[in-house]
Amino acid sequence: MTANTPQIALVTGASRGVGKGIAIALGAAGMTVYLSGRSATESASHLRGQLLPGSLAETAEAVNRAGGQGVAVPCDHRDDAQVRELFARIEREQGRLDLLVNNAALLHENLIDPGPFWEKPLALLDILDVGLRSAYVASYHAAPLLLKNGRGLIAFVSSYGAGCYMHGPAYGAQKAGVDKFAADMAVDFEGTGVAAVSLWLGPQRTERTAIAGAARADQYEAFLAVAETPEFNGRVIHALLQDPQLQTLSGQTLVTAELAQGYGIREAEGRQPPSYREMLGEPRTQHPARVI
């Protein structure tokens, strides 16, 4: 790879929200960004009776406008065959991969409803299929392509919900699970130049949180006032990928707001999003014991 060759990324769940913003930021950094998700040209997702806007085609256009190259690949991450073909396409077209952002997750519209888990739909558990299992499958197929470079990154999108009660046990288990994926995959990647990290994002300004915030203004108004944009987190992920000390961070769960301070990254208007470590807890430290 020459200095002028664009880096190659895949962002899963990139039709809208966090995935879309991360992809746009990577495009602005000149990357070729593959985008996966179910909404190819139009959305079929709803929240509180409202259609959630966004599609892969729209995200690809936004990545192109930002200065990168967006490649939309419709893919249902519940289907292992579709995921396998997604990575086969990247290999055919690029021969390698620099960055995988595991963002896809199935968020049920009743996720943030008050009440105990047994009073909510059992379908909330789908986040362990698309969100946890799907991240493992994507990482499995990404690993050989990342290893071809001798350097690369798998980034898992997580949250403070991995360490505190947030939206109930299904959501918490998915976030804690991807933190553990990063820790253990880093062990397997040791000495290869490929790193794996899990990232705790703060509250996000997305189409979904705009609707949720309107429905639960008492709980969300203060958070959303200082919320992060997905693009902000995309810039943090890009800086992390370029960091010459990346390997020293492999296996860790990191707070993106704290990384941003170290990298000198702010929101577009100059605002510095806060860390919620003191309010919501800190990432778990992995025990050094290894049982092979």
> What is the end-to-end Cα distance of the chain in Å, rounded?
35
Within-domain flag for 82: yes
The residue count of the chain comes to 292
Within-domain flag for 206: yes
Cβ atoms of residues 45 and 39 within 8 Å: yes
Of 34, 160, 171, 276, the catalytic one is 171
Within-domain flag for 278: no
Q: What letter would DSSP give residue 40?
A: S
Active-site residue flag, 171: yes
Domain coverage including residue 62: 8-271
Query: Mean pLDDT of successive 10-residue segments in the chain (292 residues)?
Result: 81 95 98 93 63 86 98 97 98 98 94 93 97 98 96 98 97 98 98 98 81 64 82 98 98 98 96 96 95 94
pLDDT of residue 226: 84
pLDDT of residue 185: 98
pLDDT of residue 49: 62
Phi, psi of 167, deg, nearest 5: 65, 15
Give the CATH number for residue 44.
3.40.50.720
Say which residues have a Cβ less than 8 Å from residue 150's Cβ, sequence separation at least 6. Answer: 192, 193
Within-domain flag for 151: yes
Token pair 């490649």: residue: 71
Q: Whole-structure pTM over 0.85, yes or no?
A: yes
Find the angle CA(167)-CA(171)-CA(177) to the nearest 5 degrees: 145
Within-domain flag for 288: no
pLDDT of residue 5: 85
**Structure token digits, residue 205:** 């300004």
**Structure token digits, residue 195:** 């790193």
Q: What proportions of the chain, in percent to the nearest 5, are helix, strand and coil? A: 50, 15, 35
The structural domain count of the chain equals 1
Say which residues have a Cβ less than 8 Å from residue 207's Cβ, sequence separation at least 6. Answer: 16, 17, 52, 53, 54
Within-domain flag for 2: no
Say which residues have a Cβ less than 8 Å from residue 106's Cβ, sequence separation at least 6. Answer: 126, 127, 129, 130, 131
Within-domain flag for 291: no
* CB atoms near residue 1 (< 10 Å): 14
pLDDT of residue 225: 77
pLDDT of residue 175: 98
Within-domain flag for 87: yes
